[in-house]
Each structure stands twice: as structure tokens, then as C-alpha cells.
Amino acid sequence: MQDFLYFLQQLINGLTIGSTYALIAIGYTMVYGIIGMINFAHGEIYMIGAYTALIAITGLAALGIAWLPLVLIVALICAMIVSSSMGWAVERVAYRPVRGKHRLIPLISAIGMSIFLQNYVHLAQGSRNVGFPDLIEGGFRFGAADSFQTSISYMQITIFITTLVCMTVLSLFISRSRIGRACRAVSQDLGMANLLGIDTNRIISATFVIGAALAAVAGLLLGMYYGSIDPLFGFIAGLKAFTAAVLGGIGSIPGAMLGGLILGVAESMTSGYLSGEYKDVVSFGLLILILLFKPTGLLGKPEVEKI
């Protein structure tokens, strides 16, 4: 029983972290699916989302507003607006002028953008860790009170539910709405979609905006879950999310979700049963193994041959 509760706890830990990887990974995978480039500045957009949310929460607290749902919604909306405009601006400034050039050029432009944004936040917000207030406290516990208890906090539940809602809305949006249909068309054949009268520039901008908005959601959730943020934390999370996207099959939205969850669970099981030192070894080893046997990732389509 003890062992099972321990396993359950590590599984919950892994799924929590995995679902936020999935939220960030969506941004990588959508952009890759549509224009075939890797947006390395995406991790920074996520970090900026977290900072904006923190500024909004602090601002509201200074105004004396403490009603939790209102605080969260205002913080979320602020973060999404700022991140989305950032995502849009990054595409407009750094990627559109070099679109259609050799594939290395947008990649380098993206890395440059990532360094620029990181250092901008360093300058504007300082390089120290800043703490997030504890907004959602408490949780459920299972197991006998005198031995190991499995706990699931309200914060973890919030993360699961929010991720689930975001993923469902996104899937419906892509499969049902007009812009979603245009997105799918552009991802199948950009030139042809253009000929058929789809404003591809608008669709590409929309992709960046959607990806950035989801990253902002992840930024707020993870900022609250971990408790502190710094200008570099987008880089590491971005790397993990990118790995999740590749693991699941880059370009595929369900793949990003699956990849995120697998990576999160693999990490927590490794640190739970082996040692925290091997966490990254196992998760990246897993990536290499999957790419060896299935080079397109778990759910990737084999015919992806773009650019």
C-alpha cells in the first residue's frame, strides 16, 4: 500500500509538470507544423507571461483587491495579452523578413530573439529570483495519517483542469473554426493555400498569437506552482517543451500533449526511483531512443518534408 501511494504521488507530480510542458510544447509544434521553423524564442514568451502575471497580481494586491477568482482572471488576461502581442511582434520583426530564405536563417534569428528577450527582462526586472505569492493553498490527502500520504494540492488540480480546458478548446478551434481550417490548409501546403485566397500571413500571425497565449497560461500556472521566477527560467522550460514536442512528433498537436506527459512522468519516476541526478539523462535518452526507431516522433506524420 505504501509503495503504491508513493508511486501514485510520483505519477501525480509527473503529470502536473508534464501537462505544463504540453502547454508550452503546443507553441513549438504549431509553428513548426505551419512554417517549418523552430521558434526558439518561445520559452522567453512563456517567461514574459509569468512576469506579466506576477506584475498584475502585485498591482492588484497594491490596490487592495484580494478576491481570488478576479485576481487570477485579471492576471491571466494581462499575461495572455502581453505574451500574445510579444509573440506577434517577434514574428513580424524577426521571422517574416527572413521567411523563405535558407532554413538556418530564421533559426539564427530565433536564437538571437531569445537572447535579446532574456537580456531585456534581466535589465528591466533584475536578475534575482522573484517570489510568487501563494494564492491557491491546501489540497487532498490519501492514506493513513501516521505513514506516507499521497497528496494532491488544489494547485495541481488547477493545473490539470486548466490544461485540459485549453487543449480541448484548441482542438475544437483547429477542427471546427474557419481560422482553424485555414491553419490546417496552410500547414498542408502554404503555396497552394495562398493561391486559394487564404491570407497566409494572417494565419501565421494567428499561430504565433495562439502559441504565445497558451505559453502565458503555462507561465502563470508554473509561476504559482513553483513559487519563484527568474529571467532564465524560460530557457530551461523551453528546452524541455521543445523536447516534448519532438518526442510526440513535431507538427502534431496531440503529439505535443502526449510528449509532454511522457516527459513529465519519465522525469518524476527517474528522480523517484533512481536518483534526481539521472533525471535529464533518462528523459533525453528516451528522446534519442524514440527518434532512433521512429524518427518522426510518436505521433508525427512520416511525410513531413517541408521548406
C-alpha dihedral sign at 118, 42, 241, 6: positive
Q: CB 232 → another protein: shortest distance, Å?
A: 7
Cα Rg for the chain, rounded, in angstroms?
20
Among 1, 64, 128, 302, binds another protein (CB under 8 A): 128
C-alpha dihedral sign at 262, 264, 269, 271: positive
Verify binding: residue 163, another protein, rule CB under 8 A.
no
Verify binding: residue 228, another protein, rule CB under 8 A.
yes
| Contact pattern for another protein over residues 273 through 292, marking x by CB under 8 A | --xxx-xx------------
Range 13-32, binding another protein (CB under 8 A): 13-14, 16-17
Closer residue to another protein in complex, CB, 15/203? 15
CB-based contact 283:267 (threshold 8 Å): yes
- Angle (nearest 5°) at CA 141 between 139 and 147: 140
CB-based contact 269:12 (threshold 8 Å): no
Q: CB 143 → another protein: shortest distance, Å?
A: 11
> Alpha-carbon distance 279 to 283, whole Å?
6
Verify binding: residue 115, another protein, rule CB under 8 A.
no
Closer residue to another protein in complex, CB, 129/175? 129
Among 97, 100, 112, 131, binds another protein (CB under 8 A): 131
The per-residue DSSP string of 44-91 comes to HHHHHHHHHHHHHHHHHHHTT---HHHHHHHHHHHHHHHHHHHHHHHI
Q: CB 19 → another protein: shortest distance, Å?
A: 12
Stretch that binds another protein, among 68-76, 81-89, 129-137, 248-256 (CB under 8 A): 129-137
CB-based contact 267:14 (threshold 8 Å): yes
Could you tell me where the beta strands, DSSP code E, fall in the chain?
130-131, 139-142, 150-153, 228-229
Among 88, 116, 160, 226, binds another protein (CB under 8 A): 226
End-to-end CA distance of the chain: 53
Verify binding: residue 272, another protein, rule CB under 8 A.
yes
Instruction: Please report, as ranges, the residues that interact with another protein according to CB under 8 A.
Output: 6, 9-10, 13-14, 16-17, 127-131, 133-134, 137, 139, 141, 148-149, 151, 153, 155, 222, 225-228, 230, 232-233, 236-237, 267-268, 271-272, 275-277, 279-280
